[in-house]
Amino acid sequence: MKRPAAWAIAAAVGAAVGLAVVLGGIGPLTRPDVARPACNQLPSRTEVVAALADHPDLTTQIEAAGDGVHVTSTTPCADQPDRALVTITYRTSSERAKVDHILTTEDGFGVPAELVKD
């Protein structure tokens, strides 16, 4: 095999491996890292709204983690609009880390909560 052809093959293999590594590295960033309970196991929307109303200090503390952090009640299951959970949106990894710290050191809302990058 001539030297230029060997370099071309090596470059193509290197590019393919590099692309696989990059795409493999992106995959975990786009998948949720926590599991949400099944829709039929979520509390009612009324329970979630009441949990937020019962924990205004926790909501305030979480939202103080950054300008991009917001706490809301959402209904994630289109076929079960009466089921809900607390959704905490954030923009940066720093905000996510602060929210994680709050949720692991405080008592929580008493209903499922999910973090979603905005």
- Predicted confidence (pLDDT) per residue in 20-60, tens digit: 444 444 444 444 556 789 999 999 999 999 999 999 999 99
Q: Please indicate, yes or no, whether residues 43 and 92 belong to a single structural domain of this protein.
A: yes
Give the residue among 55, 61, 92, 98 at the shortest CA–CA distance from 73. Answer: 55
Residues 58 and 41: their CA atoms lie apart, in Å, by 24
The tokens for 113 are 């909560």
Q: Please indicate, yes or no, whether residues 57 and 95 belong to a single structural domain of this protein.
A: yes
Q: Please indicate, yes or no, whether residues 5 and 20 belong to a single structural domain of this protein.
A: yes
**Cα(first)–Cα(last) distance of the chain, in Å?**
52
Q: Please indicate, yes or no, whether residues 5 and 42 belong to a single structural domain of this protein.
A: no
pLDDT at 77 exceeding the cut of 80: yes
Q: Residue 89's domain spans which residues?
A: 36-117
Give the chain's domain count.
2
Confidence band, pLDDT 50/70/90 cuts, at residue 101: very high
Q: Please indicate, yes or no, whether residues 5 and 47 belong to a single structural domain of this protein.
A: no
